[in-house]
């Protein structure tokens, strides 16, 4: 299937888009729903303030995010980059627009999911993580807020700012990063860690989908870290043997014994919990999602937090300054950030 992409230009600019609504917020800026003026296509545009990024010395993470996003376009469960450009003050990521809501939003509303629904989401997420690992990328920030649903109810993984590229299967890295509730024990111990951290996070997200809270949750963060490091995993009753076994295997405190530590995604696929899943059908979206977000179209924002959507869109976001930043000009910290597709169509498989 071919997805139309707006005609290529040397570089996109803010005035190419109508910015309609705020749909999210992050550490360095906002995410907005935008419509491309030339062909009416809708996008999610992440607008980041350079000043904030440079102040916290995070430019390396931003450039890594751009690099990973460009590799995502061909995977069904990863959000893809369509354009990136910059002005003297701001960076713009133009991304696939997904309006079925965050998994976090649905989980808060329903408290927990039945096993078939949790299995479906976990399988699509595992497929995405397995693909990143095949490209020698560790994701490092898997959590329900970074898992979106598209308009049909399929998973779309987003936010690649903490990804680590170039990690071969036997290699490790050591940066302390992630979200407290989902940190693996080896990260907390500040030991070298490998791609098995992502399978720990998958276990934590699956546990939360089934039980309503992350596995070692405590309001006191230091106590939660203590729990992650030392407390045995407690699984409430009412779950199948297969689900309990998978949670124990993914949330193994020793990364060398954890499911996925040896042959990676293959071990996850072959676990009995996923035996109802036909992985080829899953990848090609031939499986019907267990939940339909029932969105009326791109303008239907019912699955976004009104805290965001009711906020006024700043006029400065859609303005193109007299001096656009080019890859050779204004900001040496973000050299090579800008991107526009060369082809008019991208294969959507």
Report the binding-site residues. Answer: 55
Please tell me the distance from the alpha carbon of residue 174 to that of residue 163, in angstroms, as a whole number: 12
How far are the Cα atoms of 10, 63, 173, 260 from residue 194, in angstroms, in the given order?
A: 39, 21, 6, 11
Is beta strand 29-36 parallel, antiparallel or unpaired with respect to 42-49? antiparallel
Q: Residue 12: name the closest of 348, 337, 346 by CA.
A: 337
Which residue reads 């995502």 in tokens? Answer: 72
Please tell me the distance from the alpha carbon of residue 61 to that of residue 59, in angstroms, as a whole number: 5
Reported residue count of the chain is 349
How far are the Cα atoms of 89, 129, 215, 234 from residue 200, in angstroms, in the given order?
A: 38, 12, 11, 15
Catalytic residues, by residue number, are 141
Please tell me the distance from the alpha carbon of residue 3 to that of residue 7, in angstroms, as a whole number: 12
- Judged by DSSP in three states, 30 sits in strand
**Cα–chain center distance at 62:** 14
Q: Annotated binding site for ATP, which residues?
A: 55
């Amino acid at each position: 299937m071919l997805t139309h992409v707006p005609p290529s230009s040397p570089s996109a600019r803010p005035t190419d888009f109508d910015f309609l609504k705020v749909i999210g917020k992050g550490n360095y800026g906002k995410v907005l729903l935008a419509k491309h003026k030339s062909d009416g296509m809708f996008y999610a545009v992440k607008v980041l303030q350079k000043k904030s990024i440079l102040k916290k010395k995070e430019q390396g993470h931003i450039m890594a995010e751009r690099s990973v996003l460009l590799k995502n376009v061909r995977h069904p469960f990863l959000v893809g980059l369509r354009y990136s450009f910059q002005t003297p003050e701001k960076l713009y990521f133009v991304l696939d627009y997904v309006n079925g809501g965050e998994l976090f939003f649905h989980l808060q509303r329903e408290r927990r999911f039945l096993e078939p629904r949790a299995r479906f989401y976990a399988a699509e997420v595992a497929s995405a993580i397995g693909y990143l690992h095949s490209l020698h990328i560790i994701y490092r920030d898997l959590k329900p807020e970074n898992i979106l649903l598209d308009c049909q109810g399929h998973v779309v993984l987003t936010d690649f700012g903490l990804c680590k590229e170039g990690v071969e299967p036997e290699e490790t890295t050591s940066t302390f990063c992630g979200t407290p509730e989902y940190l693996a024990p080896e990260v907390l111990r500040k030991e070298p860690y490998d791609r098995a951290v992502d399978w720990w996070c998958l276990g934590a997200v699956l546990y939360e989908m089934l039980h309503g809270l992350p596995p070692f949750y405590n309001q006191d963060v230091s106590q939660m870290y203590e729990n992650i490091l030392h407390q045995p995993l407690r699984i409430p009753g009412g779950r199948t043997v297969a689900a309990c076994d998978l949670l124990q295997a993914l949330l193994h405190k020793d990364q060398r014994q954890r499911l996925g530590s040896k042959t990676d995604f293959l071990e996850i696929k072959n676990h009995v919990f996923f035996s109802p899943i036909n992985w080829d059908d899953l990848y090609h979206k031939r499986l019907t999602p267990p939940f339909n977000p029932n969105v009326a179209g791109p303008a239907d924002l019912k699955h976004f937090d009104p805290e965001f959507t009711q906020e006024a869109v700043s006029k400065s976001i859609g303005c193109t300054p007299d001096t656009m930043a080019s890859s050779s000009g204004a900001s040496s910290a973000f050299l090579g950030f800008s991107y526009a597709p060369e082809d008019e169509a991208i294969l959507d498989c």
